[in-house]
Copies of this chain bind each other. A is one copy, B any other.
Amino acid sequence: MGETKQFRKRNAILSCLRCTDQHPSAETLHQMLQQEHPDISLATVYRNLAFFKSQGMIASLGAVNGVERFEANVQPHVHFICGCCGAVLDLPQMETPESLRDRVASLSGGRVDSCQLSFTGICQDCLDKNATA
């Protein structure tokens, strides 16, 4: 019953993403992995994130301040994004309007694969910091 040694680093990357709710970038994820796997290169992180994404195992929220951000939660959910510090918060209490997909498909004539609802603004921390300053 020996555990396979294949994909060791690949799995480390996925586990790491699954253990955080921070919506990290490739670079941040690479830094988070340093303690356990100081020998993983940044290129490997990028490569595997692209792979996981192509398999639908993870999702990208798109770029925040020019840097792509990832998450392991592939269920549709709402985001609050701080345009100041780049923090991303999941809002699982709210629903994305999945039910509108059919309507969008018929309006556009295309095929709809997903739906993203996000709110942007300034997070509590950044508001506090600027108030103090």
Contacts and interface: CB of A to CB of B under 8 A. Distances in A.
Given A62-B62, A63-B62, A112 B104 contact: no
Question: How many protomers of this protein does the assembly include?
Answer: 2
Interface residues of A, number: 37
Interface stretch (A5-13, A14-22, A26-34, A90-98): A90-98
A118 interface: yes
Given A97-B117, A115-B119, A109 B91 contact: no
Nearest to A118: B116
A91 B110 CA distance: 13
A121 interface: yes
A25 B99 CA distance: 30
